[in-house]
Amino acid sequence: MSTRARYFVYARKSTDDSSRQIRSIGDQIGEVKDLADRAGLEVVETFVERQSAKVPGRLVFNEMLDRIERGEANGIIAWHPDRLARNWVDGGRVIHLLDAGKLVDLRFPTFTFEPSAQGKFMLGMMFSQSKYYVDNLSENIRRGKRRKILDGYWPSSAPAGYMVEPGTKRIVPDPVNAPLVKEMFELYASGDYTIQHLRAIMEDRGLRGRRGRPLSLARVQHALQNPFYYGVMRFRGEYYEGKHTPLTTQAIFDRCREVMNERSNNVGPSRRPYFLLGLMRCGVCGCAVTMERQKGHCYLRCTKKRGPCSQPYTREEVVIGQMRDALRIAGISEPFAQRLWASLDREAANDSAAVAKERERLERALESCEAKRKRLNELCVDQAISVEEYRELKNKLVDEAKRLAEEIAHIQSGVTGWLEPAKSLVTQSLKATCVAEGGSPAEAAGLFKKVGSNLTLRDRRLKWEPRGAWQVVVGQEVVEMGAGGVEAEREEERGKQREREVEWSRGESNPRALAESPGEYADSDERAAPGAALAAPGPKRGAGRERTGDPTRGAVPPTSRPVAGGNHAPPDADLARLVAAWANLPPDVRAGIVAALRTAKPAR
């Protein structure tokens, strides 16, 4: 050769994961430098790249060829031709540089190249073989994944909450993270947590991903949308039934999806603390009721989108107080709940015939679903429907089959179709009593969303309709609350006390009122006893003392009382209606429960 060749050393591995192909780069560089030393070749620079050569676009490789075009070197040393190219674009560029004379020599420890027509032909054959290898490998991997997914096993890495079992290579629940992922779904399904808040909670409780790091917001959101967690695998747009252990149920997963859809059009961050926002409408004009903060207090008001409205501002505490009274109306006592649970358990134990009938119905529905899937496959094979239509219909059938399988599993475990919703309503009724007496305002509002619907606010009074079976528990189709409620009365008393203190500090108070006020307001911060909202209208404690000013202060007007009892016990005549509405029980089951409950009126 007329001029001495100057060489670039190029080494590459197919992944940037530091835990895979650990020795590949070092071994390649060691071998090619030994070759350069033996042959006395001049090495200008070494290029190292960690990227697959299956597709064009490698930055380090392109930089090396650009520098060769500029004349900085005219030779390349690599371990094998497949290190340079596994696609036609990169391979063609190398051969083009050889044709142009800018690349005069290639050296490989495992392959001999000569800059001649035959040498370039053999080099092209090696590039073709490298291309065939990667294409064939991709096809084999895709075939293996298809077979694995059809057999019911996930063909990729384990999602958060799962791990790969050594030996079998099956995906199984992670004993540490699986309970946390299950809890994550339950918390988000409640609707009380944003994804940001949920991620922070899960991070504090120790939920980690594959590499031991906390889950990012994107991964938390993806997990909440991944059907893998209720037993269905989504692979390339299609759903397949999995044989792995689900971490949640389809019902909870669907609820999470609903919450996420609702939050997608939610209000901005500045309004999120207003947990009553968007809950009710104005009882006069029908416009939405919004919230705003003034002087440290939250107020509800009509948006007046349809014109002027005469409705006044309403303090948040007033509405929360009425919601607490509404929960007292819908609540039941613990003795009554215990009696209902015991009766339901006894009837469920004798309900084997109904269980068998329900199971037979579900199994027939499942068989029908499988038959539809077979017919759908035939339509797809005959090209009677498009691939998109096939995937959409198949995904719906897979979801339906999964739901039916879950119901059959419940039936086989002894849980009847009516027992679970019946017990759930009893539990929620008992929870309503507890939240009404000791829950936070956010808890009271959250539970009231489940109890009531079609909320309107008029003249500072809350009007609502009980949902579903709650109509029988409450005993009315439409309920109009009092003007304030027990909680609002206590808050109003505190506000008046604060106003008096401000007046006294300015010297504007009546000395007589100042002398009487301690006795008058001594009990203003006491918690009202359970059932206080049921008391007959009359003066509060201290109302019989001599006062100045308004003689009605201290007495609660009749309009401020709830329309129904707070901790009322349903009369015996309502028991049959109550239990029947809860569970839609068969007549013989309903009669047995009513007979058991009629023996004594529940003590409250």
Segments making up each domain of the chain, as ranges: 6-145, 162-266, 352-415
Helix 419-438 to helix 572-583 angle (10° resolution) is 120
What does the pLDDT read at residue 566?
A: 35
Q: Which residue in this structure is represented by tokens 């500090």? A: 505
**In CATH, what number does 162-266 get?**
3.90.1750.20
pLDDT of residue 449: 83
- Residue 59: the pLDDT is 92
Tokens read off for 439: 């829950």
pLDDT at 351: 67
Nearest to 445 by CA among 277, 246, 208: 277
Quote the CA–CA distance of 374 and 367 in Å, as a whole number: 11
Q: Are strands 75-77 and 6-13 parallel, antiparallel or unpaired?
A: parallel
Residue 452 has phi, psi (to 5 degrees) of -115, 160
In whole angstroms, give the CA distance from residue 346 to residue 583: 14
Long-range contact pairs involving 281-284 (C-beta distance under 8 Å, separation at least 24):
281/455, 281/456, 281/457, 282/309, 282/311, 282/456, 282/457, 282/458, 283/311, 283/456, 283/457, 283/458, 283/459, 283/461, 283/463, 284/309, 284/310, 284/311, 284/458
Residue entry with tokens 């030393």:
37
Virtual CA dihedral for 322, 328, 329, 331, nearest 10 degrees? 140
- The one-letter code for the residue type at 75 is G
Beta strands in 14-87 (DSSP E): 42-50, 75-77
Rounded Cα gap, residues 586 and 600, in angstroms: 23
Structure tokens at 285: 């004009």
pLDDT of residue 380: 82
Q: Which helix (H) or strand (E) holds 240?
A: strand 238-241
406-449 pLDDT tens trace: 888 777 665 555 677 777 788 888 888 888 888 888 888 888 88
Give exposure, 343-360, as e/b (b: 16+ Cβ within 10 Å).
Answer: bbeebbeebeebbeebbe
How big is the CA angle at 17 (ends 172 and 11), to the nearest 5 degrees? 145
Sequence-distant (6+) residues with CB within 8 A of 361 are none
Dist CA 201 CA 261 (whole Å): 21
Tens digit of pLDDT for each residue in 267-307?
A: 444 444 577 877 889 989 989 898 888 887 889 999 888 88
Q: Return all residues near 329 (Cβ < 8 A) that are at least 6 apart.
A: 474, 479, 562, 563, 564, 565, 566, 568
Fold match flag (6-145 vs 162-266): no
- The C-alpha atoms of residue 123 and residue 139 are separated, in whole angstroms, by 24
Distance, in Å, from the CA atom of 534 to the CA atom of 555, rounded to the nearest integer, reads 15
Residue 177 corresponds to which amino acid?
Answer: N
CATH 2.70.98.10 is held by the domain 6-145 = no
**Antiparallel, parallel or unpaired: β 162-164 and 171-173:** antiparallel
**Distance in angstroms (rounded) separating the CA atoms of residues 582 and 590:** 10
Query: To 5 degrees, how large is the angle CA 391–CA 407–CA 220?
Result: 60
In 433-591, DSSP assigns E strands to 452-458, 461-466, 479-480
Low-confidence ranges of the chain (pLDDT < 50): 1, 267-272, 484, 486-487, 501-583, 590, 593-604
Contact 502, 538 (CB under 8 A): no
Task: Identify the H or E element spanning 390.
Answer: helix 387-412
Task: Please state, as a whole number, how many other Cβ atoms lie within 10 Å of the Cβ of residue 410.
Answer: 19
Beta strands 42-50 and 479-480, pairing class: unpaired
- 323, 332, 322: which is closest to 475 by C-alpha? 332
Smallest Cα–Cα separation from 424: which of 414, 435, 415?
A: 415
Could you tell me how far CA 277 lies from the centroid of its own chain? 21
pLDDT of residue 293: 84
Specify whether the CB–CB gap between 250 and 399 falls below 8 A.
yes
Tokens representing 196 are: 């940001």
CA gap 439, 418 in Å, rounded: 29
Return the bridge partners of 291, or none: 300
- Check: CB of residue 236 under 8 Å from CB of residue 174: no
Query: Residues 6 or more apart from 136 whose CB is under 8 A from it?
Result: none
State which amino acid sits at residue 157: S
Question: Which pair of structure tokens corresponds to residue 558?
Answer: 């009749």
Residue 82 carries which side chain, given as an amino acid letter? D
Q: Please give the pLDDT value at position 512.
A: 37
- Whose tokens are 């709830």? That residue is 562
Query: Distance between CA 126 and CA 118 in Å, rounded?
Result: 12
CB contact set of 168 (below 8 Å; sequence gap of 6+): none
Tokens standing for residue 121: 């032909």
How would you classify the pairing of strands 314-315 and 6-13? unpaired
pLDDT for the residue numbered 495: 52
